[in-house]
C-alpha cells in the first residue's frame, strides 16, 4: 500500500465502508460469528455506541477517501461493574491484510485506552487465526482460556481464545 494512510476517529460518513469491510468477514470467514451481512441502517445504533462513553471508541485507517480498516473498543458486558473492561477488535479491508495496518490501528486504539479509565482490554479470537493471535501477542495481550466449539458457522464448530491486556 503506497498511499498515505491516516489513522483517525471514525465519523458517521465512514459507516458504509466500515459495514462493507465487516460484511466481508461475515460472509467469507469464520472470524465473526455473525452469519448474515448487515445493511448500513442496521449498524447506525452500533456506531452511535462509540459516542456513549469515552472508553468506547472507533479508529479508522483512511487512504485517500477509502476506509482501509478499523479498530474499536466496546463494552465487554452491559453491567456497570464491567465498565473498566473493554473488548477490542480490528478489521481490515481484505486487500490490505498483512501490511502492518492492523498494528497501526491497534497502536492508536491502545494508546488512547491508556489515557482513559480502562483496566483491562480483551480480544476474543475465533480459531484458527494466527494473524490475530500474533497481533494481540505483539501488543502485550496474554492468552487466557479457550472455549471449545463455542460457535458454529459454515457447518463446523469453532473454538474461541480469549486474550487479555492489563493497563
Where residue 96 falls among pLDDT bands split at 50, 70, 90? confident
pTM for this prediction: 0.94
Q: Work out the mean pLDDT of the chain and round it to a whole number.
A: 95
Q: ∠ CA(133), CA(77), CA(155), 5° rounding?
A: 55
Q: Is 100 left (phi over 0), alpha (psi -120 to 50) or beta?
A: left
Q: How confident is the model at residue 75 (pLDDT cuts 50, 70, 90)?
A: very high
CATH class of 5-166: alpha beta
* Residue 86 reports pLDDT greater than 90: yes
Half-sphere exposure of 147 (CA within 13 A, CB side): 12
Residue 115 pLDDT: 96
pLDDT, mean of residues 124-152? 97
- pLDDT for 2 beyond 70: no
Residues 166, 154: Cα–Cα separation, whole Å? 34
Question: Rounded mean pLDDT of 107-116?
Answer: 97
- Alpha helix stretches (DSSP H) within 122-163: 130-138
Find all residues with CB under 8 Å of 149, minimum gap 6, and list them: 157, 158, 159
Pairing of strands 5-9, 57-63: antiparallel
In the chain, domain spans: 5-166
Amino acid at each position: 500500500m503506497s498511499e498515505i494512510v491516516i489513522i483517525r476517529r471514525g465519523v458517521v460518513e465512514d459507516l458504509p465502508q466500515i459495514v462493507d469491510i465487516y460484511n466481508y468477514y461475515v460472509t467469507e470467514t469464520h472470524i465473526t460469528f455473525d452469519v448474515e451481512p448487515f445493511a448500513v441502517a442496521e449498524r447506525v445504533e452500533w456506531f452511535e455506541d462509540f459516542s456513549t462513553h469515552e472508553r468506547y471508541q472507533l479508529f479508522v485507517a483512511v487512504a485517500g477517501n477509502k476506509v482501509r480498516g478499523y479498530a474499536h473498543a466496546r463494552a465487554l458486558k452491559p453491567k456497570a461493574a464491567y465498565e473498566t473492561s473493554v473488548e477490542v477488535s480490528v478489521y481490515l479491508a481484505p486487500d490490505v491484510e498483512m501490511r502492518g495496518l492492523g498494528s497501526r490501528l491497534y497502536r492508536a486504539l491502545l494508546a488512547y485506552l491508556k489515557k482513559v479509565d480502562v483496566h483491562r482490554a480483551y480480544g476474543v479470537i475465533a480459531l484458527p487465526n494466527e494473524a490475530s493471535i500474533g497481533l494481540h501477542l505483539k501488543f502485550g495481550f496474554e492468552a487466557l482460556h479457550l472455549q471449545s466449539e463455542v460457535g458454529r458457522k459454515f457447518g463446523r464448530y469453532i473454538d474461541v481464545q480469549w486474550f487479555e491486556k492489563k493497563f
